[in-house]
């Protein structure tokens, strides 16, 4: 994290120094410029000398202040990016911690649910088995009913293809 801090600090310091020096140059230049035109009794040669030196000092000041501003803006951008990264990192760490805290709870819940799930599964298996058995019964009973006829004399259920009742001997 040392490199990102250096990236942040260097433009900030350089920007502040450039702004201060540029500001001093600007202020001194402005004062010289004003001094040139503030006094009507100054000789014209001195007025032009003061004005030109004031102008050049203000120019130097702005030439220093502009990169100073750029450096400070860059530092602020770095700061914002760094801050956002830090926020993202903190959020990721927090969610990881929450997940770690929740994990044992989820295991406990799963363990607690296991017997209930097993009971449900067993009940379902039982239900399905019963369903299959019932359907088997239905199948067998339907098979029986289709191939048997009732004797008119004694009521015995005889197979369909039989000509005589096997109980009372009457013709079917």
How far apart (Å, rounded) are the C-alpha atoms in residues 160 and 27? 125
Interaction between residue 6 and Zn ion (CB under 5 A): no
Q: Using the rule CB under 5 A, which residue among 154, 159, 162, 164 binds Zn ion?
A: 154
**162 sits near Zn ion (criterion: CB under 5 A):** no
User: What tokens were used for 73?
Assistant: 């803006």
Q: How far is CA 84 from the centre of its chain?
A: 15
Residue 122-151 contact track with Zn ion, rule CB under 5 A, x = bound? -----------------------------x
Q: Which is nearer to Zn ion, 126 or 170 (CB)?
A: 170
Task: Determine which residue in the list 153, 157, 159, 162 makes contact with Zn ion, applying CB under 5 A.
Answer: 153
58's CB contacts (< 8 A; 6+ apart) are 25, 26, 29, 30, 33
DSSP H helical ranges for 39-171: 44-146
Does residue 159 belong to the site contacting Zn ion (CB under 5 A)?
Answer: no
Quote the least distance from Cβ 148 to Zn ion, whole Å: 13
Tell me how far, at minimum, the Cβ of 144 lies from Zn ion, in Å. 18
CA distance linking residue 127 with residue 142, whole number of Å: 22
Nearest distance in Å: CB 150, Zn ion: 9
- Angle between helix axes 44-146 and 2-38 (nearest 10 degrees) is 150
Q: What tokens were used for 169? A: 């001997």
Q: Which of residues 9-68 bind Zn ion (CB under 5 A)?
A: none
Q: Is residue 166 close enough to count as binding Zn ion by CB under 5 A? A: no
Binding residues for Zn ion (CB under 5 A) = 151, 153-154, 156, 165, 167-168
């Amino acid at each position: 994290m040392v490199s990102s801090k250096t990236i942040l600090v260097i433009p900030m310091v350089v920007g502040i120094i450039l702004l201060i020096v540029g500001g001093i140059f600007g202020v001194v230049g402005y004062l010289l410029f004003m001094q040139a035109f503030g006094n009507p009794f100054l000789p014209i040669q001195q007025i032009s000398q003061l004005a030109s030196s004031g102008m050049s000092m203000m120019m130097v000041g702005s030439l220093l202040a502009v990169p100073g501003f750029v450096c400070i803006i860059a530092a602020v951008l770095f700061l914002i990016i760094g801050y956002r990264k830090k926020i993202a990192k903190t959020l990721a760490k927090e969610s990881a911690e929450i997940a770690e805290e929740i994990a044992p709870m989820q295991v406990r819940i799963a363990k607690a649910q296991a017997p209930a799930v097993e009971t449900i599964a067993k009940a379902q298996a039982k239900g399905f088995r019963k369903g299959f058995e019932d359907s088997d019964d239905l199948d067998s009973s339907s098979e029986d009913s289709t191939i048997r006829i009732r004797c008119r004399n004694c009521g015995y259920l005889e197979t369909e293809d039989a000509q005589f009742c096997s109980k009372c001997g009457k013709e079917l």
